[in-house]
Amino acid sequence: MSLTLDKLTVRYGDVTALHQVSLALKPGEMFFLLGPSGCGKSTLLRTVAGFIEDYEGGLALEGGSLKGVPAHRRDFGMVFQNYALFPHLTVLGNVAFGLEARAVAAAEIRTRVAEALGLVGLSGYETRRPGELSGGQQQRVALARALVIRPRVLLLDEPLSNLDAKLRWDMRSEIKRIHAATKLTTLYVTHDQKEALSMADRMAILKDGKLEALGAPRELYDHPPNRFCAQFLGDCNVLEGAVAAPATGSAPGRVRTALGEIALPGEKHWPAGLQVGKAEVFCRPESVWLGAAGSEPPAGAVVLTGQAKVASAAFLGASTLYELALPHQNAAIWHALRHEQDAAGFAEGAEVTVAVAPPAWRLWQ
């Protein structure tokens, strides 16, 4: 089902938690709401769920207004950050709770609970209590409880934040599998960029209660609309510079920096209305090429002038993250992410050549 927010605004006294946020979730979409703590994402989710009734703007499901519709009448399934399981009830009792509250017949409850537990991979766990389950299993029970009511929309409030790294990865795959099977319109709130980038069909980024960006994960990662979004979604290596005056009849696309001139190869790499003058260019660590001092980079990559030094190296298993001290950067540190299976790395203090291919650069002004 489609879910629409039209200039949604929520205030707590003199504090505006959400300011005119407009979103349109498509039927069956896995939509992520991303942002730092205090940006308003949980307020938005609670408003959609019906827990916050005092708001301005529009909130509609399939075109029908939700204004005045209480939470228990919306038929939305919600998974909370802390699972909110009843410790005195069995798995069966927890999952059946919402159906019993709706006075569903006992035979249908048994059938639907069995279906929901089968969907989340917990068939046979009906008689266990939450204290006898792992964190991942408790999360699956919470998910089954939300799914068993056959919700019109599924709401997930940072559901993986209490799990360790391995379980988080496993549960991402499980949630994606379950979403593919149910095709439920899903609104997923998180502050974890990797969760959003790896799972979302589309995502929105909030800052201080305002919508900063909206789009597909790869689109926002590769072409962020501003510096905040770029740095929130991943590490950035930044160079200050100035947009050079273009040749007669051509569009601007070259930025002069202390480490050389950066050529941006196409209009998608710079913002609309680009003007001659002060600007910043950035690239991601994975786009940085490192070589021994004086070595030639791959075809197409452009060497930054001056020799850089390796400030530190962190071995991450599949890759190594280098911190680089570049000349003329006022002690700023750059990052380079390098895959080094069966290859020698660089020691701390080593002088290296740094190069970046022009398509990897982006520009702010």
Show me where the domains of the chain are located: 3-228, 237-364
CB burial of residue 358 (10 Å; 0-12, 13-18, 19+): middle
pLDDT at site 135 = 87
Q: At what angle do helices 135-147 and 91-101 cross, to 10 degrees?
A: 20
Q: Give yes or no on whether 3-228 and 237-364 have one common fold.
A: no
Confidence band for 263, pLDDT divided at 50, 70 and 90: confident
Q: What percent of the chain has pLDDT over 90?
A: 64
pLDDT at site 307 = 78
Compute φ and ψ for 146, nearest 5 degrees.
Answer: -70, -35
What secondary structure does DSSP assign to 107-130, as a single string? HHHHHHHHHHHHHTT-TT-TT--G
Does residue 249 carry a pLDDT above 60? no
For residue 221, give every residue at least 6 positions away whose Cβ sits within 8 Å of its Cβ, in sequence order, or none. Answer: 197, 233, 234
Helices (H), 85-209: 91-101, 106-119, 135-147, 165-182, 193-199
How far is 336 from 242, CA to CA, in rounded Å? 24
How far is 132 from 138, CA to CA, in rounded Å? 9
Assigned CATH class of 237-364: mainly beta
At the topology level, CATH places domain 3-228 in Rossmann fold (3.40.50)
* Averaged pLDDT for residues 115-138: 93
Which of 316, 40, 30, 36 has the alpha carbon at shortest distance from 192?
36
Q: Which residue's structure tokens are 């070259």?
A: 254
